[in-house]
Structure 1
């Protein structure tokens, strides 16, 4: 009976058919010279034939793989069939006569190809021998976990029903007791009513008896001693009032209990590492390794309970540390408000000094992915200093005065904060200086910035700006949507230098209170990393290095390095 498509196993294969024209028998053999699959009968005929009896016919599994047809780039009409052993490149027969390959040794490319294919199949076999049993083990463990989860969930349902039954019994008990109380009150009230009815009946009887003797009544009326009893007193009893219970669905849920999802990361199953073919499974590319290392760091890092000073530098040739940027190999660029640029190494040694045109706005800078320094300068220009100290004009900003600048660690884009006529904006340029985005207003048409004097980018692509004109940190996502604004903790917040770390924290200097505020990725205030009591003197600029150390420049000529993550 033929199997339907849904019944065919996923690893099923079509049986091999003999390659001889007109023959439909099963294939068992393979001719390595003709590259043809054969049945047993056709093989016998093939080996009897004078033209093909010298051909190498082997069992199908031991066959040589046919070399793919690929034309030579130098001689397009020829096929590449040889391997130059010295150059290790495939060539055609005609290439062997060229000067480039003269005197070289050559091998049949098909042999080399077949060897490589065989090696690949061996490695694949090793991999399958590891992963298939391991997958079955994981599948079995997963099935066991399914049973366990079902058992746990059934237990939870049973507990819920038991809790509800217990609650129902309590409700029935309370209701029964209340009804008994109502019955007693009703009985008491009825007894009162019955007593009053009896008094009235007795009074009527008394009147009837008094009126039976008219003479007696007449005589009594003339007599001053005749007295008629008054009506007996009766009252209208006050009935009880039922006050309904005041409760909500949440109250009932609290009484019956809740089911909660544990905020615990699922534990990864432990798998024995693969011992075979390990050299074939190394990650390719530097970025893959770096991404994995950053991911590992992110999983293990957290805020430290205290901030520790690692080291401190004194930069003698600047009046103040208005801005800092970290370059390659931990080298630091420092600038002051007079346009002096200094580069120092990890030991605090001065490597180079550059005097810009100076003036307001000529002290914001950033290091690109290529290691060049770009900085804002007068006349609405952004300059580039290459690593061989060549200064070139990089970007002209027109009527807008550039205030802040940042080179993206994500894609190398250049973010520039600018202002003109009491209004600010952020412009994004690509690595070559071509304008690709302008961020100026929110979705309601309101101005986002006034004086964006420091700028950075978060790990998720958010653009984070310290706006000194509005005393606000403004955060916009990469699609220009305003995410949030942060205005400090109370009055007097003047944001300056700003940076982010591998966890997405936003660190911003507050020159008003001599503090550094730490926010999470969504703008929630976490803590003050530094306060005036810790000796911080007008913090102006911050950045975080690859070792997750915080570098801070102050309105002195000192740069201090701290450890705040653990």
Structure 2
């Protein structure tokens, strides 16, 4: 038995079955599956009956089509004015249903439409919409609801972590308060003990003086006795004088200076929850027409080298997935590590490592703020190298942190570890000058790239840097509004400035074919994008634009499977695309 599918004829021929029902051949005593439909007879039929239908002289010229491409039979309805006639026409001008008599009587010269064809078209339209609802609208809505549930789960996890951090911070502060209170009480005890000892010493002095006075009184009374009257005459006058009262000092009492604190001070110590005032981004609804996005190259693609024949630029860019990076507020720079691990940094001195599933592995707090440069990289061995406020540090795969090198008076901006020879390239500036310096993996300086052969300065602000497969050093220089490319010797090969447009280069990377991918981002601009260049600097295409919901791209990198990762300045979402095949 055949399946009747509620889908649009022809255009939805291969669509999945939705709302199926079984249809048999309408020929008497034939129970075979229906495959065809005779539009004039309005009769479903099987393969064999179709052949018989064409052999019949009366029906050999009938229109027999695939069942799903059939014309739908108009329901029989009698005309109210002419009960013997069927309604079978539509007057386009009057928008009323007519029979043949109505048409000749009251609608001469009007545009009349065959009602059966009109009805069949409307039936197909309904089936198309039913298919769209089942195929697109319902699944997309369910996916959005799933996303809402995932967001709710994420919110609970984030707020749970926040509460945990709050409690930890509060307990730490309480411990510090208890510690300081204990210290102050101990100090008060020591001061009290010292002052009491002083007063006891003074009291002892006066007790001794009192004993002396009592003894002296007895001695003087003895001199007044008639028996010892001669002693009074003989004794020296000074022995009749009372010794002066000993001097003592009043203790200096300590003064307690109360601490100065307020709710605001305590709030700063404990932190607070901040609600971002940025407008929430709309949920992304997959377009009905297509899942992938078509590229429009402006020049012909070159033939790949022999060892890369298997990889070519796709005719479209397809979004594979996207994920939020925990522990960072944005994704200003990306460094791809081993086994799909990814380092992501934001504007607020946070540097996080995640695994291929987006789970947080570790977080590093950098001692500077507001830096949206490419200040970290991953070496061939998997070590993280990043700049801190005063030096460049290395984090080994077993999480040992060491100082890789000190720059001196120069300020490092960007870092890249060569996958060709392991060298470390550092973009830096000082007093209005800028350069690229090459270091060995040991930290030994071996090359400085500052000027062209004619003495012109190559760089102004080299804030992102990478290396191409041929050893060219590709630098995103926001000061020059250009991508500056030099060879291994430091000779300038070209500068890409995206002529006829305002160009603000940010994150930069290269791929296995030698293409250069660079972010074009300006917070005031309406057109932010990712440019794709040939190895020689020719513009190939805008690989990603605002039309593909790419709002503020500032970082790019390519993984071992040739997937493109794009990070954004105003969100911690990283999006992954497939653009090579």
Normalising by structure 1, what TM-score?
Answer: 0.47
Higher relative contact order (CA 8 A, sep 6+): 2
